[in-house]
Amino acid sequence: MIWLDSPEVTATALPAAWLIVTTARPANLAERSLLRRETARRVIARQLGLPADEVCIDHDGKGRPLLARPAGRGLHLSLATRAGVVAVALAQRFVGIDIERIDPAATPPFAALHPAEGAMLRALPEATRPLAFARLWSAKEAYVKALGTGFVRAPESFSVTLLAPDRFEIDDPLRSSRTAGTGRAIENGGQGILAAAIVTLD
């Protein structure tokens, strides 16, 4: 898994994720969507060696972003925005990416978690729960984005196991095997620490 931090840098292999700190502060959903798309266009144009105006991003029937132009490249993408960071993931399989702010004051929504996840969080020292929850929730969001369901799929219906600071695994009773994912924590220009996660599906 390759993590990059500039839209001007190309990935030597896929899957890859770009976590780009931005000074833009979108005021609403439409502005956030535009920021994600414009950032993704720059990333993809650079990756493919094309002018940005030759790249067009649309959505498939499940709402996942897709590369409408140039067509036939076999690329899948996923986008996210949070707290001054735009995340773009590119892969040759279905992919999901998410970023979550670490909130030391927040209480995890245990009712929305799989029982194993809730037990894991409760077993941690209170000071370490916010980071663990952000890592866990970003993994869940990335997974349902890769599926194309969003949280129409109940978040408590599958479980995330945090294996290491940069690795996790998803156990979904609707899939025959476990799904591996990659994560990391980043700082967003002094605003705080964010947890990012990416999942690709076989």
pLDDT in tens, 130-149: 999 999 999 999 999 999 99
Question: Do 106 and 195 belong together in one domain?
Answer: yes
Query: Among the three residues 76, 93, 110, which one is the final residue of a domain in this structure?
Result: 93
Question: Do 61 and 76 belong together in one domain?
Answer: yes
Query: Among the three residues 93, 124, 145, which one is the final residue of a domain in this structure?
Result: 93
Nearest to 120 by CA among 171, 82, 154: 171
Region 159-187 average pLDDT: 95
Tokens 């700190």 locate to: 21
Question: Do 107 and 87 belong together in one domain?
Answer: no
* Three-state secondary structure call for residue 70: coil
Question: Do 18 and 88 belong together in one domain?
Answer: yes
Per the confidence metrics, is the pTM higher than 0.85?
yes
Region 38-49 average pLDDT: 96
Please write the tens of the pLDDT for every residue from 24-34.
888 999 999 99
Question: Do 109 and 69 belong together in one domain?
Answer: no
pLDDT at 189 over 70: no
Q: Domain span at residue 117?
A: 99-200
Question: Do 117 and 192 belong together in one domain?
Answer: yes
Q: 5: pLDDT confidence band, cut at 50, 70 and 90?
A: very high
- CA atoms of 42 and 8, how far apart (whole Å): 8
Structure tokens at 173: 């009773």
Question: Do 110 and 187 belong together in one domain?
Answer: yes
Total domain count for the chain?
2
Query: Among the three residues 36, 63, 93, which one is the final residue of a domain in this structure?
Result: 93
Tell me, what CATH number does 9's domain have? 3.90.470.20
- CA atoms of 87 and 96, how far apart (whole Å): 10
Q: Are 194 and 202 in contact (CB under 8 A)?
A: no
Residues sharing a CB contact under 8 Å with residue 50, sequence separation 6 or more, in sequence order: 44, 70
Please write the tens of the pLDDT for every residue from 48-100.
999 999 999 998 888 889 999 998 889 999 999 998 899 999 999 999 999 99
Tokens 């993994």 locate to: 139
Question: Do 114 and 140 belong together in one domain?
Answer: yes
Structure tokens at 95: 């992919």
The chain-wide mean pLDDT, for the chain, equals 93
Question: Do 118 and 77 belong together in one domain?
Answer: no
Question: Do 150 and 187 belong together in one domain?
Answer: yes
Question: Do 70 and 86 belong together in one domain?
Answer: yes
The dihedrals phi and psi of 123, each to the nearest 5 degrees, come to -80, -15
- CA atoms of 86 and 65, how far apart (whole Å): 14
Question: Do 150 and 103 belong together in one domain?
Answer: yes
